Amino acid sequence: MSFKEVFINNTSNFFPNEPIANDEMEAYLGLINNKPSRSRAIVLRNNGIKRRFYALTKDGTPTHTNAQMASLAIRKLFDNKPEALKTIDLISCGTSSPDQMMPSHAVMVHGWLPETNAIEVVSPSGVCCAGMHAFKYAFLATKTGEVSQAVATGSERLAVSLRANNFEDEAQKLQALDGDPYIGFEKEFLRWMLSDGAAAFLISDKKNETGISLKVEWLEGFSYANELPPCMYMASDLEADGTLKSYKDYTPEELTEKSILTIKQDVKLLSQNIILYGGIGLKAALEKHGIKSHEVDYFLPHMSSAFFKDKIYNQLLENETGIPYEKWFVNLSEVGNVGSASVYFMVDELFHSGKLKVGDKILLLVPESSRFSYMYGLLTVC
């Protein structure tokens, strides 16, 4: 069987509302028990994020759904021309924050695009890697000739779940027990890390006749869940034996009292493993495809926090896959950590930057801390 070459022919983004600066965050997310956060300044100082976007107003009113934002990014791929949407053969959508458990995220995105045909849609689950899994599905479907033109998206709507009202019951219970109304750092931490938005790739088996395209050379993934325990989780809680207890096994009262439906992260476990295993996976991916790190022109690592930048750099050096900082291209400080969409936003900004020239090689790295899985990819400008 002969395989087709696969290209990214366009990229797009959608950010809800106006950017929000660090000193505005609590105006949108609210004060838990009417008390300013004790950890906000520390987290923001380390993560390097200067602004982010929320799909809600200051009073907590939602302005967009996740699926709606993804659909608006897809429309932007086609310059908002409704008739062009009929050229799509496949829509593949990754997110860690779907608007509902059922129906799937991708069919809801498709529902916002009534001008399209009856086509295949797919919704890979996961966290940060979900966007790359969506990308890989579209890549493989195009490469095998199943489709000629596909769209892949990454999107998140997390701010609504970070609002203070989601933590109030737990904070009040803590205050009643010991006078301390502050929730644990594993929950508080992520309130100052995450952002909303959507981005999309237009994927085809033919490159653009004019302008640049990005040839997708390969996409690789590794999970280390066989070795490591859960680190970031939602709609569950960690038991003493290291297993996760599902939200289905809590009473309705416990769900609110313990804020089970919120996102939690074991920061210690994260810092011990996320960089080490990401470096192992990257070295394996490069060796599999016969690529040396010095051949890379642009390195796009998804980082949840600027805190990890030097640690990633040093780990790559230790693994003999070092990449100098002048080849790094990141936009975390300006768009925030948008989970599964973050790598899309980096590719999108670089694609439209005017910096790329034919032959440039772009290396993608996406870590997922939920149970330590990683995705990597190589693109060539053509």
Same domain, 155 and 288: no
pLDDT classification of 39: cutoffs 50, 70, 90: confident
Judging by DSSP bridges, how do beta strands 214-223 and 197-204 pair with one another? Answer: unpaired
CB 87 within 8 A of CB 149: yes
Q: Would residue 68 count as lying in a domain?
A: yes
Q: Would residue 36 count as lying in a domain?
A: yes
Same domain, 293 and 158: no
Same domain, 220 and 180: no
Q: Would residue 318 count as lying in a domain?
A: yes
What lies within 8 Å, CB to CB, of 284 at 6+ separation is 220, 222
Same domain, 52 and 193: yes
**How many structural domains are present in the chain?**
2
CB 288 within 8 A of CB 322: no
pLDDT single digits (tens) 76-99 = 999 999 999 999 999 999 999 999
Q: Would residue 198 count as lying in a domain?
A: yes
Instruction: Give me the pLDDT at residue 103, please.
Output: 98
Give strand pairing partners of 215: 7, 380
Same domain, 161 and 220: no
pLDDT classification of 186: cutoffs 50, 70, 90: low
Same domain, 199 and 317: no
Q: Would residue 352 count as lying in a domain?
A: yes
Same domain, 163 and 220: no
Q: Would residue 23 count as lying in a domain?
A: yes
Domain boundary among 210, 244, 276: 210
φ/ψ bin of 265: left (φ > 0), alpha (ψ from -120 to 50), beta (otherwise):
beta
Domain that holds residue 100: 7-210
Same domain, 206 and 276: no
pLDDT classification of 73: cutoffs 50, 70, 90: very high
Same domain, 290 and 152: no
Length of the chain: 382
Domain CATH code at residue 283: 3.40.47.10
Q: Would residue 256 count as lying in a domain?
A: no
Same domain, 204 and 274: no
pLDDT single digits (tens) 108-129 = 999 999 999 999 999 999 999 9
Domain boundary among 184, 210, 236: 210
Same domain, 220 and 163: no
What is the C-alpha separation between 247 and 187, in angstroms, rounded?
16
Q: Would residue 247 count as lying in a domain?
A: no
Judging by DSSP bridges, how do beta strands 298-301 and 361-368 pair with one another? Answer: parallel
pTM reported for the whole predicted model: 0.95
Same domain, 220 and 157: no
